[in-house]
Amino acid sequence: MYLKYLIFLVCLVSSNAASFQNSQLDANNRVVGGSVAAEGSIPYMVALRTGIFIRFLICGGSVITTRHVLTAAHCIDSVYRRGSLSIFLRVAVGTNRWNIGGRSFSVARNITHENWNSFTVKNDIGILVTGDIMPLTDRIQPVSLNFDYIIGDIASRVAGWGRIVVGGPLSNRLLVLFVTTVDGDECSKALNYNISVAEQFAKYDPELELCAFSTRGKGVCNGDSGSALVRKNNNEQIGIVSWGYACARGVPDVYVRLSAYKGWIENALSGPS
C-alpha cells in the first residue's frame, strides 16, 4: 500500500482473497457515505480486476474511447511487473457489479505518464488500451472530458466499489457520492493542518491536482482510485481519484486535475492502438 505516515492513496490493491470474498457476500456495503447507483446510470464506469477463479478488484477507471480507459498511474503500477502488465488484468464495463455481469476485455498495453512519481504521488495518470473494441451500448458509453480549470464550489460526483471503512470490505454494488470541489488554498490548509508531514512527500499541488469534499463520514476509500470525478451539471470528467487522508475523516480527497493533462491525454489518444 502507498502508506506514508498519515497519508495513503485512496485506492490500492486489496490485501487478501478473504476480504474480496467477504465483500461479495454483504449487500449492504457502501462507499463511505455513498448510495447505490441506479443501474446503467454511470455507463462510463470501469472496474479494473484480476484473477482467474477468484477475482480481485484493483481500481476504478473511465471509458474515454472504445479502446481507451483513463485511470490512475498507481493503479497500473499495482499490476505491472518486470516490464509488463499482468496477463490476468481485465477491464470490466457495462455493469454495476464489479465481479459479475457486463463485458470483460483484456488489456493490450498501458500508457503511464512519463513523469509519474510514486513517492510524491504526482502525475498520477495513465491510460489502458484494450485488446478489442468495446462496443457502445446504453450501458457502455465514453465520458466527455472537461479541460477547464476547476475552481471551488463545483457540484460533482464520484462512483466506485471501494471500501466502506479503512480495512473493511469492498462494495459489491456500484456506489455514488456527491461532493463539492474545494478551493486550492482552502484544501492546502485542510491537508497541512491534518497531515503535519505532508511537506515531506505528497504535498498538494493545485496546478496538478484538485480537491473535493462532502462531509465528515463521507468520501472515497481504498478501491476507488482511478475512478472519475465528474461535474454534476454536465456529466463531464474533471478529475481522477488519486490520494487522500485515511477515509472520510473530514479532510478533502485529492484528484488528478484533468486540465493539467490536456496535451498529454490528446497525445496518448493520437498514438498507435
Q: Which residues are annotated as catalytic?
A: 74, 124, 225
Residues 6+ apart with CB under 8 A from 55: 20, 49, 98, 99
Of residues 81, 76, 93, 91, the one with CA closest to residue 130 = 91
Residue 169 three-state SS: coil
Reported residue count of the chain is 273
Of residues 1, 52, 48, 14, the one with CA closest to residue 240 = 48
For residue 222, how many other CB atoms are within 10 A of its CB?
26
Of residues 146, 155, 148, the one with CA closest to residue 179 = 155
Is the distance from CB of 224 to CB of 148 less than 8 angstroms?
A: no
> Hunting for cell 461532493 — which residue is that?
179
